[in-house]
Amino acid sequence: MIKRNMKKRRRITCLLGLIALISVGILFNSTSLSSAQINYVEYTVGNNDTLWSIAKCIQENNINYERTDIREIIYEIKKINNMDNSQIFVNDKITIPEI
């Protein structure tokens, strides 16, 4: 009878461990999915706009970028728009993460 109880406890422990592992997997998977859902918009550059000022606005107003270094946001903008340098001009249209 003691052996039966030990086997039952082991099964329950294994089952609880498996449930915990699945829960952690779902938690991490849903976190990565939410950060992957970034919408992009076309932005028309205005007077006094710089990539730095645009990136700062994105960082302050887009939850996906709130803890991202501004330089990384600038790099992403340049990559999305196939830019070789950071020069932008008034009325340029660039694609940026939604603000």
- Which 3 state secondary structure label does DSSP give 26? helix
The pLDDT, as a whole number, for residue 56 is 96
Interior angle at CA 22, CA 21 and CA 27, nearest 5: 100
pLDDT digits (tens, 9 = 90+) for 27-86: 665 444 345 578 899 999 999 999 999 999 999 999 999 899 999 999 999 999 999 999
Per-residue confidence band for 3, with pLDDT thresholds at 50, 70 and 90: low
C-alpha to C-alpha distance for 32 and 41, rounded to whole angstroms: 22
In single-letter form, the type of residue at position 30 comes to S
Average pLDDT score over residue span 82-99: 93
DSSP letter, residue 44: E
Per-residue confidence band for 9, with pLDDT thresholds at 50, 70 and 90: confident
C-alpha to C-alpha distance for 87 and 17, rounded to whole angstroms: 54
